[in-house]
Amino acid sequence: MTQTLRLGIAGLGTVGASVLRMVARRAEALEAATGRTIAVTAVSARDRGRDRGVDLSGLHWFDDPVDLARSGEIDVFVELVGGSDGAAKQAVEAALGAGKHVVTANKALLAHHGAALARMAEEHGVALAYEASVAGGIPVIKAIREGLSGNAISRVYGILNGTCNYILSRMEAEGLTFEACLKDAQALGYAEADPTFDVEGFDTAHKLAILTSLAFGVEIDAEGVSVEGISAIQPLDLTMADELGYRIKLLGVAQQTAAGIEQRVHPTMVPKASAIAQVMGVTNAVTVDADAVGELTLIGPGAGGAATASAVVADITDVALGLARPTFGQPVPRLASPRRVEMQRHEGGYYIRLTVHDRTGVAAGVATRMAEANISIESIVQRRSAKAASSDPQGLSGQPVPLVLITYAATEGNVREALAAIDRDGLLAEAPQLIRIERE
């Protein structure tokens, strides 16, 4: 009889408890698929007394996840602790060093230490599996690493944070402010008490760094990701996007260019007709542009206990089948050093909202500065309230009003240069809003 594959789970939060339930519920199906019994034999968490809604009797309890990782009672260490350092890193290193397979959902750990951990896994002949680290239940890691191995990928981008997508969806649908939507997201459990990691784009950046490595065969370069969040987005921006045929999404974008690899996270205008624009609420989506298949979009639940557990159990199944592939698609020594492309060199269309003083000649002054920076304007819209227009039809009040521009393709450096010149001219009443446009 084939030996049982023994699992040790560190971290018994929502995901860990869901993995326990799923392994038990799907025991017969997993055995039929892999030819061996898969069972949880040991666990580790901070609080023994907490009611997690699962039966822990019969399981060996470890107070220290590092001790669990080294234990002779397990074959696979499932790390669901979280965090880029501390207990999570120490335990994963201990497991790999002891010749244990590792399954993790920890994007921060991989983004910062992925290459070193992958090297350890390869040296010890074990798997380091991480499907659950990006886009929850969407099998995007396997899709890129295995399903698209015959393709040359030119771009991968997506909605990788459900909290941000929920907030932007509510703002658009109901005309609410960012602050009001964030408060609701926190009440519903979609956002943390300190939401900075999500809403300022850092969570998306970690996930994007992992996808970049897989898509382009390069070492993970989390420090090379340019990051902007959604906290500055205002209802007017979503209204203008709608009128112009776009929706605003927080996207992570990795793109191969002649100069190197762009990695950027920022609010983005996407055409309303595109597949990714239809993704609302807490749902995630990833689009891959490849030479053989063209454009491929995967959409599904990006978080939650059941969805994330689905990805964790998929990795456990691969381990049971003996499918220990190179962590990032090829052995670590063969991964190339990425050539960073700074945001100043990014080229594309831009939505620019300027709050300007409502007086004659302002629009002309803005257009002149844009032209001097070699930026062509596709459209320009000045928004004055009905009251202001009726009381001051010639626009001589000097009150702040929004002026919205859509540009044709321009470099980030030129756009920033033009905005600096407009500011020096004294035309701006407040800082400009700049949102990049991602056209298909």
Joined tokens for residue 83: 């965090």
Q: How far apart are CA 327 and CA 118, in angstroms?
A: 6
What per-residue confidence (pLDDT) applies to 247?
A: 97
What per-residue confidence (pLDDT) applies to 386?
A: 46
Q: Does domain 5-133 have CATH number 3.40.50.720?
A: yes
Positive/negative CA dihedral, 211, 215, 221, 225: negative
State whether residue 330 is helix, strand or coil: coil
Q: How far apart are CA 163 and CA 346, in angstroms?
A: 27
Please list, residue by residue across 305-332, b when 16 or more beta carbons sit within 10 angstroms of its beta carbon and e when fewer do. Answer: bebbbbbbbbbbbbbbeeebebbbbbeb
Pairing status of strand 283-290 against strand 153-159:
antiparallel
Average pLDDT per block of 10 residues along the chain, 440 residues long: 88 95 97 97 90 87 97 97 94 98 97 96 96 96 96 97 96 96 92 94 98 97 96 96 95 94 97 94 96 96 93 98 91 94 88 92 93 94 60 62 94 95 94 90
Question: Sheet harboring 38-44: ordered strands across?
Answer: 60-62, 38-44, 5-10, 76-79, 101-104, 128-129
3-state helix vs strand vs coil in the chain, percent to 5: 40, 25, 35
Q: How far apart are CA 161 and CA 307, in angstroms?
A: 14
**Residue ranges of the chain assigned to CATH 3.30.360.10:** 142-301
Joined tokens for residue 175: 């005309």
The CATH code of the domain at 142-301 is 3.30.360.10
**Which homologous superfamily is 346-437 in?**
ACT domain (3.30.70.260)
Q: How far apart are CA 231 and CA 131, in angstroms?
A: 29
How many other β-carbons are positioned within 10 Å of the β-carbon of residue 280? Answer: 16
Q: Within 13 A of 55's CA, how many CA atoms are on the CB side?
A: 6
User: Contact 283/165 with Cβ under 8 angstroms?
Assistant: yes
Joined tokens for residue 262: 């762009």
State whether residue 382 is helix, strand or coil: strand
pLDDT in tens, 64-120: 999 999 999 999 999 999 999 999 999 999 999 999 999 999 999 999 999 999 999
Distances (CA, A) of 254 to 124, 168, 204, 286, 289: 31, 22, 12, 11, 11
**Residue ranges of the chain assigned to CATH 3.30.70.260:** 346-437
Active site residues: 207
Pairing status of strand 433-437 against strand 260-271:
parallel
What per-residue confidence (pLDDT) applies to 384?
A: 62
φ/ψ of 401, rounded to 5, equals -140, 155
Residue type, 398: G
